[in-house]
Amino acid sequence: GPRGGGDLGITKADVRPKTRRKVGPDLEMEGELVGMTAEKKSRLELRLEQELEEGRMKNNGNLDDDDLLVKAFDLVEVYFRLYRLNKLNALLAEIKPFCFQRGDDEDWIPKWLQAQATNLCKQNRYAESLPLFTEMAERLAPTSALMSNVGNVYLALGDLEKAHDHYEKAYQMLFTEPHGPDKEAGALAEIAFVKLKIAEIEPLEGDSGRKTMYLDDAKRHIVQSVEKYRDIGYVTHSMLGKALGSLAKICYARGEYEEADRAWIEAMNIYNIRMGNHSLYVAGALKERVKVIIKLDLQRAKQEAPRMLLLALDKYVLRQDVLDLKEINEILSLLLHDDLPFTSKDSAPIALKDFMPIIVHCHKVLNNEIPSQTSEHPRIDVRFLAEFYQHSGHLMWLSGQDKVTAKDWVQRSIKLWGGPPVGTQEF
């Protein structure tokens, strides 16, 4: 599982303020990526890659030049948004020595630390990112953005109390920094989401009513966030889409399924425009909408869910550099839902066998048989691997495609869970 990290208790008194030359501006600070469609980002990616290659040829085969490094960080921002994680790993490794050899009088080192920490987070290697954020705090005064990033790490590691504290600090620090209403909207969305997560672990029944309190607070914060984004004209902005996704999840937790469905529909439209049809955001929205539709109308779910889940699995497995087994496992568990066609006597619009090639592809990635893709394995939590082979084995068995492989996968799952081998026992 994820390795633990120490508390990042960052205060201004703990940091030695330094004056350094700014190395920007870059695409992010200039706002060129704001509102850019996925298609335009892909064209920008190709152009920047070509310009960097030409720069290498003119600079002894490397990027040891300030102008080339600025361009490299521009490409880093594009890779982040297109989830080109293998390309991102390679580029950050290439430019690291040139950033660190420039010393502390410029912003190159903090800029690289920020990029690498975010890169690790996108690969679910959250504990490994904490030391980088700590080093950033030692080099720069703490900011709202830094507090927010550390909150994201603690949220991913399941330390909800520390995540909530850092998001609250980030929101309060905004008012000591120059900022626009979009930053306030983003901070409110972060607080809303962690309150949702806290509510999810509260018992269903209790004298204190804490679960309802947290859900009410989450709804209030996320509605304020969405309203702020709309007020500043973010009609199809990616940040509005993310806030709508959080609104949908909060409404789902509150049993407000129709509002959740409307929010997912609007969010998915934005994701298609801004992130692209094959993005993880679209895949996640498809998966989450299935849960909502099951609650709203089971007959409709039986008709629509198979196609939606097939599209989502395709995007998670075949369209990404790095597999996210946690999300993939959620789709596989939905395929095993008692009320869906695959495990009932109703005829399915899409046959279970249609999912098998994608599941087999995922298995091959996990076994390093597909060089163009990687996974978090062996860093990934072993529970995710066990769950993947448990679900995949059962689905393979139900599909009737290959019962030998199905039994092998379930046996692997039991071994990963720490149980005895299956042998020839039926399951």
For the chain, 427 residues long, give each residue's pLDDT as a single digit of tens.
222 333 444 443 333 333 334 444 444 444 566 567 778 888 999 999 999 999 999 999 999 999 999 999 999 999 988 888 889 999 999 999 999 998 766 789 988 999 999 888 887 788 899 899 888 878 877 889 889 989 999 998 899 999 999 999 999 999 999 988 999 999 999 999 999 999 999 876 665 688 999 999 999 999 999 999 999 999 888 999 999 999 999 999 999 999 999 999 999 999 999 888 999 999 999 999 999 999 999 999 999 999 999 999 999 999 888 788 999 999 999 999 888 877 654 455 578 899 999 999 999 999 889 877 776 554 567 889 999 999 999 999 999 889 999 999 999 999 998 855 444 333 3
322 bridge partner residues: 374
For residue 283, the model assigns a pLDDT of 96
- Asked if 247 and 222 touch (Cβ cutoff 8 Å), the reply is yes
For residue 137, the model assigns a pLDDT of 78
For residue 330, the model assigns a pLDDT of 96
For residue 140, the model assigns a pLDDT of 77
Closest CA to 268 of 246, 247, 291, 284: 284
For residue 205, the model assigns a pLDDT of 61
Structure tokens at 88: 């991102």
For residue 426, the model assigns a pLDDT of 37
For residue 33, the model assigns a pLDDT of 65
Other Cβ atoms within 10 Å of 143 Cβ, number:
17
